[in-house]
Every structure is written in C-alpha cells, then in structure tokens.
Structure 1
C-alpha cells in the first residue's frame, strides 16, 4: 500500500480522482470526492491531498469563489492543517541542528523546497538558503 492509499484508508467515505484540471487548480474537494491534477508529481500529490483533506476536516460551506475574508481564512486554515499533517513539526526538528541545507532536507522528506520553506515558516523555523 503506498502512502496515498494509506492516507485514503483513514477516510473511507472519501474518493480520490486524478484529472487534467484547469491551470492554477491543483486540487479541490467536491462533496466526498477529492480531485487532484493528474500532472502533479508524487510529492505534490501528497501535499495537495493533505490540503484537500484539510478542507474536508475544517471548511464550512462553499469557498470556491474565495472572495470574502471568511473564505480566505478557511482556505488558510485548511492549508495549515494539510501542512501540519504532511510534515509534523517533529520531522522538521530532526534537521534543526544538522548541517544540512533546505534542498537536502526537502529531498530527505520528499517535498519541494518551496513547500518545505512554507511549512517551516508556519512552524517558525528560519530557512537555510544554501
């Protein structure tokens, strides 16, 4: 069982589909169906799967227009939920005192550097840019 299958097994009432989504849309949840862009890398798929589950866990109502402060707050809340579940703080702390750069950490954790940095900022870590 791969990591996506393991995650989805914790949410048996949700289904997952990969489709060619419009530009700029990497994932969304419609009812009980998570839709991910089929062009995402395996690392990105995990990131966006967690964010869409974050919407399932935290979002109330339809926020697809994203034009109100409430919608933007719910979007951010789901994103943070996804980041914290994709990369728990303890995983980042294991690298805190090692002489490694962001690229090495991202590679070890199976994420993109930009995502690693965003998660790190969420936890209050400083980025190593070398």
Structure 2
C-alpha cells in the first residue's frame, strides 16, 4: 500500500506531517489517535513510518518512549512487526517473487518500501521464523539470503 492509500484507509485518524527534527532520530509518533510524521521524507519513507505508527495505534498502549523498559521494547517490536506485515508480509514477498523481482532493490520498489525497511523486515522475519517458513505452496527462505521457492 502506498502512503496515500494508507492515509485514505485510515482517514478516521488524524495523520499530520510536521517538522520532527527537534527530536533526534524521530520520524513518526503516535499519540491518542494522532499520528505525526516527519515531513522531510519521501512518500515511500512516509509509508513505512506510517505503517509502524499504525502498528502502535493497533497494538500498543501508554507511553513506550523509554526503551530501557522490557515491556516497552516488546510493544515496540509488536508495532514494528505489524508495520512489516502491513507493508510487506510473507505474501508480499511471494507476490514480488512471482512478479519476477529477484534483487532487494526490485523487491523494495515493487512493495513500495525502502531497501532499509525491507532489510529490517527480513531480519525480523528471520528472528521470528528461523531459516525458512512455508506459506501455501511456497517456502520463503531468510538465510543465507532472502529467497522464495514454489513447491509443486
């Protein structure tokens, strides 16, 4: 889903773009039904950040900015996984493979994500599933590199 599609689908939320440069490293922030995004990002970057912030909307509660707290880190992980699944997901990787994408840049472009976001998602999936996982008639490999194999 593109940035505009995500915004349209979640029009019940107040999604605004603003200058977040005062807060070092912050590209997005969810608070009480509001999502603020750094305005100085590409549309693709905004879609990735918005997906994670939607993850916070649907999966987290309270102020989790203090990442030294284990409970907050778990909530952050859930929100990131939600975003990865929203933008990419195992089926997205399979669709990219079926579309003929073989390189990380091709897959990222096809899925409208940044290469960095794709890498983080694959690392997250590797952590969750291990070397590979199966979906329908496909095996999705995460190690040694990302790969999809169709099982007949």
Q: Fold-level match, TM-score > 0.5?
A: yes
Deviations 1:69-110 (A, max 9, x none): 000110111000011001121110234475722122222222
Q: 1:105 maps to which residue?
A: 107
Q: CA RMSD in A?
A: 2.2
Query: Which structure 2 segments of 5+ residues have no match?
Result: 127-141, 147-152
What stretches of structure 1 move > 6 A for 4+ residues in a row? none
CA contact (8 A) 1:28 1:52 kept: yes
Instruction: Return the index of the structure with the highest Cα Rg.
Output: 2
Bigger proportion of residues as strand: 2
Q: 2:29 maps to which residue?
A: 28
TM-score, length basis structure 2: 0.73
How many residues are aligned here?
A: 127
Match runs of 1:1-130 below 5 Å: 3-21=2-20, 22-96=23-97, 100-124=102-126, 125-126=142-143, 127=145
Q: Structure 1's 11 and 96: CA in aligned 2 closer, same or farther, altered over 3 A? A: closer
